[in-house]
Amino acid sequence: MKVGVKGAGVAGLALAYELVSRGVQVELLEKHKGLSASASWLAGGMLAPWCERESAEEDVLRLGQTSIGWWSKVLPGQVRHNGTLVVAAPRDTGELSRFVSRTSGFTWLDADALGALEPDLEGRFAKGLHFAGEAHLDPRQALTALQAKLSESGARIKFEAKQFTAATDLVADCTGMASQDTQLRPVRGEMLILHAPDVSLSRPVRFLHPRIPVYVVPRDNGVFMVGATMIESGDRGAVSVRSTMELLNAAYSLHPGFAEAKIIETGAGLRPAYPDNLPRLTFSGNTLSMNGFYRHGFLLAPHFAMEAAHRIVKHLQEKTLEANH
């Protein structure tokens, strides 16, 4: 069985991995020259199904829980199981109660417990929420490691390519907003990457605000990703001044050490979303579409990749049986 996969974002790479794991020959096409062209490259890498449930459907919680184990198994050592911390400024503490009313899996922390969990935030917040079952990873390291695993397993990966080198039995389209699916809409996401050596955090921190909640995700060597914007726009341009100011103000409000941080990167990408903000698997002839991950690519790609790989193998096996009869 030979399957061609289009798109080297987290969805395409995860699906290719699941297919190779099932003994399928895979060729992966990416029209750009590297992994950094995908919206996945700009992701936060948070595996946070309980926090995401606050503004998402139950399916995001139910299906997203499998992602933590999947990433831990596929990329051992890359997932950090430190949970998620949720805090709010003193004037916005009501946001914490609103947040918990829409989700589960948390523990309330008082100021002392919060300071013990994240010493750099000691004395800054009267209370917070700890979602101990959540995790995070560095999305760029994860994408690069998945690509390497695929190459080692014999998958053919072609960048700056639009045509498969050989005939395929089925094509899987994981191209995000490059897809021809007219039901998809773009949701613009913006982020900053800061170098703040004076700040130390062990886990993602979500800083609640009535208008723009912000998350701060630690990477290695004093680097942090700051993001959260969800703008209903197809604009592929650079990060706006307003968004930059809001993200920086939120980071500074979380910890004053961010005032001395260096901005080492800004980025904006378009995330594909269906009207219900949930991904879909769609068969049409010998093409399967896996798309619409909205802001949940790393969280939901593992489940949908496993489901899609199962359906593809079953479909091809049935076609083989029909041809033999």
pLDDT at 209: 80
CATH for 84-132+185-273 (1.10.10.10, 3.30.9.10, 2.40.70.10, 3.90.1720.10): 3.30.9.10
Q: Is the pLDDT of residue 166 over 90?
A: no
pLDDT at 1: 87
pLDDT at 210: 73
In 3-state terms, what secondary structure has residue 188? strand
Mean pLDDT, the chain, integer:
95
Region 158-166: what's the mean pLDDT? Answer: 92
Distance, CA of 280 to CA of 274 (rounded, Å):
8
Superfamily of chain region 2-51+137-183+276-324: NAD(P)-binding Rossmann-like Domain (3.40.50.720)
Query: Can you give the residue ranges of every domain in the chain?
Result: 2-51+137-183+276-324, 84-132+185-273
DSSP state of 77: T
Tokens 């062209």 locate to 37
pLDDT at 104: 96
Measured in Å, how far apart are the chain's first and last C-alpha atoms? 18
| Cα separations in angstroms, 196 against 136, 180, 252, 263 | 19, 41, 11, 9
The domains spanning 2-51+137-183+276-324 and 84-132+185-273 adopt the same CATH topology: no
- Each residue's pLDDT tens digit, 41-64: 999 999 999 999 999 999 999 999
Question: For residue 309, how far is the Cα from the chain centroid?
Answer: 20
Distance, CA of 112 to CA of 127 (rounded, Å):
9
DSSP states along 85-153: EEEE-GGGTHHHHHHHTT--S-EEEEHHHHHHH-GGGTTT-SEEEEETT-EE--HHHHHHHHHHHHHHT
Distance, CA of 264 to CA of 155 (rounded, Å):
34
How long is the chain? 325
